[in-house]
Every structure is written in C-alpha cells, then in structure tokens.
Amino acid sequence: MPSSTQRSGALRSGGFSVDFFRGIRFRLVLFVLMLIAVTTFSVSFIVIQIMDHVLMDSLTKRGSAISQAAAIPAGYSLLTDDRLALDNLAAQIKRSQEEVEYVAILDLEQGILAHNHLDRVGDTLSFMEGEVQGHPDGFVITKGLHKGIECLEFRRPIYFTEQHVGNVIIGISTRQLAALKTSAHQKILLVAAFVTALGLLGAMLTSSIFTRPIERLADGVSRLRRDEHVGNIPVRSRNELGKLTHNFNKMARTIQRQKTSLHNYAGELEASYNDMVRILAAALDARDNYTYGHSARVARLALGLADKLALNTEAKKDLELGCLLHDIGKIHVPDAVLNKQAKLDQDEYSELTKHPLLGSKILELTPSLRKYIPAVKHHHERFDGTGYPDQLSGDAIPLHAQIVALADTYDAMTSSRPYRKGLSREETIDEIRSCSGSQFNPELAELFIDVVLSTPENTADEMMPAEYLCAS
C-alpha cells in the first residue's frame, strides 16, 4: 500500500498540486482563457458575418447596376425593333463582366429576343427557381442554381415611356464570392485559434499580472467589434503575455486589411458604375452622326471651370457625371430630328426642347442617379429667366446646370454641321460675352473664357442648337 509521501508525490507529479486546481489562480487562468477564447471567436464570427453580408450586398448592387444600365438602351432598341443592337448589348455585358453567366433580353411572353448565346434567340426562358427577393418597380433577385452553379439572377422590367415592353435577365455566378469568403474565413479563424492558444500559455505563466493586459485586450476587441480603428496595443513584456498581445495586434491588422479589401471592392464597384455611365453617354452621343464625343468634351470643359471655382473632389465627380448624362433625355428624340441636315422647324425644335425634362424623369427611376437631375434638367435655363423648362433665373439655377450650359454652348458653337461651319474660338468667346447677363451668369462666363483661353483649341465637329444662340 503506498505511503502518504508517495500519494503526495503522485498528486504533485507534473508540477501542479491539487491545491493549484482548487485555488483562485487556476480559476483566474480558466476564466481568462474562456474569456479570450469566447471573445476572440465571437469577434471572428461577427466579422465573418459582416464581411459575408457586405460581399453579398456588393454583388447584389453590382448586378442591380448592370441590369439598370442595360434596361435603358434595351428599351429604345425594343421600341425600334433593333435586334442587332440588343444582341450587341448582351454580348458586351457578358464580355465585360467576368462573373456574368448569361444575359438575356425577353419580350412580355418570356421569349428570348437577345442572348449572349445567339442559338438561344427565339426560345422561351424560364425564370430561375429559388429564393426570391422582390423590389420596387418589379425588380426581382433570385438565388438559385444555373447548370449546377449557384447564381444570382437579376430580373428587371424594361419600361419605355412608362410602358412595360420586356425584361432584362442577368445571371451572375457566386463562385468568386464564395472563394473570397472561404479564404477570409480560414485566415480569420486561424489567427483566432493562434491567439487563443497563446492566451492559454500567457494566462498560466503570468496570471498574477494578467488583469491589466486583459483589460487592454478586451478594450481592443470591443473597438474591433464596433468597427473602430485598432492601433497596436502596447507590449509591456517579452513573455507569453506579450506574445498574446502582439498576436492580437496581428489579428486586428488582418481584420482591418480585410476591411480595406472590402472598401477596395466597393471602389471597383463605383468605378464600374462610372464606366457604365460613360458607355451610356457615348452610346447616346453616337445616335447623332455629328455629336460623337460631345458629352466627354463638355465634361472636360466643365471640370476646367470647376477647378477655377475650387470645387471639392466629390462635387467635381458629380459635375462630370452630370455632364455625361446631360443629354440623356435625347434618347426619346427621334433620329429624324437629331440627324436632320437642315435647321429644325418649330415643331422639331419644340420636340428637342423636351429632352431636359425627359432626362430628369429617366434619372428619377434610380435613386443613385437622382443627384444629377439639377444639371440635366436645368442646363437650358437662362440667367435672365427666359430658358426652359422652368424659366429659372439668376442664382436660382443650380450651379452645376450653369456650368454645363456654358460648356455645352461652347462645344456646340465650335462644332460644324452640314448646313453651317463651326465658329472659331475667338468668335465663340465674343458670342459668349455678348450673351453674358442674359443667357449666362456674367462671373461664370468670364471664368469660363479664362478656361477656354488656357485650353488648346478644340476641333470638334458638333451641332449648335438654335436655342444656344442669343441676340447680339
């Protein structure tokens, strides 16, 4: 039978006595370990959920933006029965977006009018079955399977003059999204497990001085959970507790890098949105044989004036896109009016003057484009109140609209048409000065002239609408 000394030695084998497991030190170590493990993995889980939500939301917004951008030109092409334009639109979207699995434009009976696979044209397309999210104006997002691949299907009605004329269907694969999520999950969980393991070692070796460092770590975790910036927590020692703090800093940097990546993804989404606006503007300009590139030139001139006015970066971005979209209402103007090789008669001129109001109505369809309405709707107002559509005068005319009016007028007057030659820069400047105070804000007009004189002469060849010319 073993002696009491032997039993005591057995209980102490491994370097820990029974009292250690019953004492406050062990309980503190156990509590701290549980706190680190639960907190770290809870934060990791929250970060993973937030990241998954943001990634899915970004993909949803991207698909929505693509479908919206496709619906506008598709509506016009459906009205004109331009099947070639529809096929080209579907092919361009598929080619420019790597994740797009299929693009289809349907009539009201779900017949395929255009598809990125031309052999599908004329077939009937069944809508994807799966989880459906309904949105205003009939916009539907469905999550399901397409040929065994998980996809999001974006179904947006095509409206033209408030009439439902068809549907745009775009399927986007979630494969790249799933790969990003899996990689991020693994890294976050690996760092969390590493930090937890170091937390155990640090708690066991330095439990007597563990309280204060744990408070600093808990504060860092709380700030990380609130999505606040987490700087490096000071490392007060070189032992395991110091390593724990150091690795927490590593985890925070990893999470913040993931956050930065999400912001970059959002930036790419915004760039894609801006590119779609530029493509749309170029497509609108191309409808008129003599105005290709007009909107881009107007934007360059307007940004020159914006620099003179010291507008901030955000205002200049809005101004640029407002310039690119300023003639979007001309999508409703018949080609016979836009491409007429003689001066417009009264009825044709009246038809043309509707485009600012029509453009504003188009932009009202999408919340993200409504901020450009003032520039689009009012760029034909006059400083003396005789413009259109609302006869605004003076400072009641939005600043962006006044800037667009000057740039638009200059580019129009210096551009040639079959029935008249464009004016020279000097002649155009004289004309703008003669219209200062009647058509244009005098202060803006002089600043704009400074911009023109510091810019190489433009040899653009565009129309000069009659409404831009004022009596001398």
Print pLDDT tens along the chain (472 aa): 444 444 444 344 444 555 445 544 566 777 777 888 888 888 888 888 888 888 888 888 888 888 888 888 888 888 888 888 888 888 888 888 888 889 999 888 888 888 888 888 888 888 888 888 877 778 899 998 888 888 989 999 988 777 888 899 999 888 888 888 888 888 888 888 888 888 777 776 666 555 566 667 767 777 777 777 777 777 766 766 677 777 878 877 787 777 777 777 766 666 766 667 767 666 666 666 556 678 888 999 999 999 999 999 999 989 998 998 888 888 888 877 777 777 778 888 888 889 899 989 988 887 888 899 999 999 999 999 999 999 999 999 999 999 999 999 998 888 876 667 778 899 999 999 999 999 999 999 999 999 999 877 643 333 333 333 333 2
Q: How far is CA 177 from the centre of its chain?
A: 17
Instruction: Please tell me the distance from the alpha carbon of residue 259 to that of residue 250, in angstroms, as a whole number.
Output: 14
Instruction: Please tell me the distance from the alpha carbon of residue 222 to that of residue 129, in angstroms, as a whole number.
Output: 42
The fold for domain 289-468 equals Hypothetical protein af1432 (1.10.3210)
Burial classification of residue 58, based on how many CB atoms lie within 10 Å of its CB (0-12 exposed, 13-18 middle, 19 or more buried): middle
List CB contacts of 283: < 8 A, sequence separation 6 or more: 73
pLDDT score for 76: 84
| Spans of all domains in the chain | 21-287, 289-468
Pick the closest to residue 331 from 115, 78, 107 (CA basis). 78
User: How are beta strands 130-134 and 140-146 bridged, if at all?
Assistant: antiparallel
HSE (CB half, 13 Å, CA atoms) of 349?
11
Maximal CA-CA distance, the chain: 124
List CB contacts of 221: < 8 A, sequence separation 6 or more: 39, 40, 43, 248
pLDDT score for 289: 58
Instruction: Please tell me the distance from the alpha carbon of residue 428 to that of residue 412, in angstroms, as a whole number.
Output: 10
Cα of first residue to Cα of last residue in the chain, in angstroms, is 124
Pick the closest to residue 434 from 395, 405, 471 (CA basis). 471
Instruction: Please tell me the distance from the alpha carbon of residue 110 to that of residue 17, in angstroms, as a whole number.
Output: 78
Instruction: Please tell me the distance from the alpha carbon of residue 427 to that of residue 125, in angstroms, as a whole number.
Output: 58
pLDDT score for 374: 94
Pick the closest to residue 72 from 337, 358, 379, 408 (CA basis). 358
Pick the closest to residue 450 from 323, 322, 307, 319 (CA basis). 307
Helical segments of 80-174, H only: 83-96
pLDDT score for 213: 67
> Domain 21-287's class?
alpha beta
Q: How far is CA 314 from CA 303, 320, 369, in A?
A: 12, 10, 14
Instruction: Please tell me the distance from the alpha carbon of residue 194 to that of residue 185, in angstroms, as a whole number.
Output: 14
pLDDT score for 396: 95
List CB contacts of 465: < 8 A, sequence separation 6 or more: 352, 412
Residues in the chain: 472
Instruction: Please tell me the distance from the alpha carbon of residue 286 to that of residue 459, in angstroms, as a whole number.
Output: 18
Is the distance from CB of 172 to CB of 62 less than 8 angstroms? yes
